[in-house]
Amino acid sequence: MLIPDQLRKRLDRLDGEPADSLESETLEFKSWNPTGSARKAQVREIRETVVAFANARGGLLVLGVADWKRTRAEAIQGVGSLDANGLRRDIYDGTEPHILTEIFELQEPEGRVLVIRVPPGMPPHTTSDGVARIRVGKESKPLTGSNLANLVVSRGRRDLTAEILPDVCPSDLDPDQFRRLRSLIRADAERSDLADLDDRNLTEALGLMSERGTTLAAVLLLGSRPTLSRCVPRHELVFSRSRGRTGYDVRRDLRTPLLETLEGVRRLLDANLRVMPIGPAGFHQLEIPDITWWIAREAVLNALVHRDYFLHQSIHLRLSDDRIEITSPGGFIGGVTAQNILRHPPVRRNPLLADVLQTIGLVNRLGLGVDRIFEESLSLGKDLPRYEADESHVKLVLPTRTHADFARFVQDMRSEGRELGVDDLIVLRGLVRRPVLDRWSAARLLQLSEEQAAVTLVSLRERGFLVPQGRGRGTKYGLARRYSALVEQSGVDADIWLDEESVRLRLLAVLAERGRMTNAEIRRLSGYSRTQVLKLMRSLRRERLVEVRGRGRGAHYVPASRLGRPIPHNSDSRIPRSERNSR
């Protein structure tokens, strides 16, 4: 943000440039009219501008400089005897939550100018009249809709947890939370010497406090309950255990600092989760919990660290008979999606909070948390964890039902020294639900390219876990005979892995490789019935991806690029007799 000397250089440019051309996302000029009837309207406009800055990156509002003037002498009109302290109170009293500004004056030859420094706030701020605005470029726009509500953080411009809270002092921090923090540092942190620092030096070493003041992250970790409620009313984790589809029989609302919230979640899970005994694996009896504390802790920490503190919503942790769901406010950012979260580099919405939790030993430094959640869950015989997301929420679904044979299988492999990586476990667990996988369906499971998925399949085949069916790119893989008992016989969700999109991708690739295929060949490749193949090929023909050639037994499909004519959309020939009779 501009300091007085830099601002004066900007004012020197008013000879030749109008004030509006000098404005930016963090700088605005306004004239001041001291007359009584206009003063109320001007103060109201100033409040709205301050709210817009506070809802974005903060900024400077320079009062006493008029727009659209071509000379400095015309532009700098000054503010007369306007009382800076009175204006500061007017801004504070007229904003919700209150915005504490800093006002300093510049004595210029043309007149006295007031500079209002607006800190970035904890959005959303409004005026006391209920007007909400946000700074976008050089304009203050109405703060309406999720697009503007998410604009601040979706561009990666701000870390809300690093913002200074002007009305928080060291006495607002809770000694009990400091004790929790020191205990954790001594147990898990690489720098255990931090625990020997006094409160002030510890918070400064972690970046939670500085000469500028106390950060939101400090309040989230160490704030007393009244301070947390006052400064971050949207911080809450709601724990519930459901029975049936509509009701719940346990509910707890945790409005506590983060470390105490983790302790509360652990107590609630210990009281409500089950342990499943499994028959001997070798000489050992296995006891498999619904979920381990490590998985639960990692999932809850991800929800707390990556939540959007811009949104007035709670984190929800719901237990049901077959799953745990953890829902966090704020959609994915930085290109992360539910379809690539296993492979995308970690993107942190709140870097300061994440850094502090890494330093004290709670968060994995290498961004491997999601991988570990998958690996630990699958090793326990659970189904694949699943992410769901929209623009305002991320939900992690952790299945809790145990496939006893798969859990025992993993333990047996470890006992034999045959460790299985997370990719191995994903493929093998997929084959429990579906008898065969090919490179396309495996790619969707693994969130990898077809070629990378094929490498994993081949590796498992070479180690004796899989057997191939077919040749070339269309090869399918099933579990080797000695492991075939793992396959679920019920056929529940049998199509979950080999869905239509996987079949389409595989078919088009094989067709491009071979140049032609008959209906019978497509049935063998896809496992579809004749009617299903006809429906699929009709769809591909409409999309101008394939065409049928020949008649009767000689009918076959070729890639559409081999033909030089368009495919009709509205024609009785969309399913020609030769195609209906093809094998």
Predicted local confidence at residue 373, as pLDDT: 93
Predicted local confidence at residue 36, as pLDDT: 61
In this structure, which CATH number among 1.10.10.10, 3.40.50.300, 3.80.30.20, 3.40.630.30 belongs to the domain 500-583? 1.10.10.10
- Among 289, 294, 297, which Cα is nearest to 258's? 297
420-498 CATH fold: Arc Repressor Mutant, subunit A (1.10.10)
CA distances (Å), origin 463, targets 67, 413, 439, 446, 458? 75, 12, 17, 19, 9
Helix locations, 333-468, DSSP H: 351-359, 369-379, 404-415, 422-433, 439-446, 450-462
| CA gap 110, 73 in Å, rounded | 6
Predicted local confidence at residue 384, as pLDDT: 94
Give the tens place of pLDDT for each residue, 567-576. 443 333 334 4
| CA gap 301, 185 in Å, rounded | 16
Mean pLDDT by 10 residues, the chain (583 residues): 73 88 90 78 93 87 90 92 92 89 91 90 81 85 60 54 87 95 87 91 94 93 93 89 75 94 95 79 71 92 86 88 92 86 86 91 67 93 92 90 92 90 95 88 92 94 91 86 78 42 78 87 78 85 87 84 43 40 40
Predicted local confidence at residue 173, as pLDDT: 96
CATH class of domain segment(s) 4-143: alpha beta
Q: How many residues does the chain have?
A: 583
Predicted local confidence at residue 134, as pLDDT: 87
In this structure, which CATH number among 2.60.120.260, 3.30.565.60, 3.40.50.450, 3.40.50.360 belongs to the domain 157-272+291-399? 3.30.565.60
- C-beta of residue 525 within 8 angstroms of C-beta of residue 506: yes
> Boundaries of CATH 1.10.10.10 in the chain?
420-498, 500-583
> Boundaries of CATH 3.30.950.30 in the chain?
4-143
- C-beta of residue 63 within 8 angstroms of C-beta of residue 79: yes
Predicted local confidence at residue 110, as pLDDT: 92
Predicted local confidence at residue 561, as pLDDT: 62
Give the tens place of pLDDT for each residue, 223-266. 999 999 888 887 899 999 987 666 678 899 999 999 999 999 99
Beta bridge partners of 29: 62
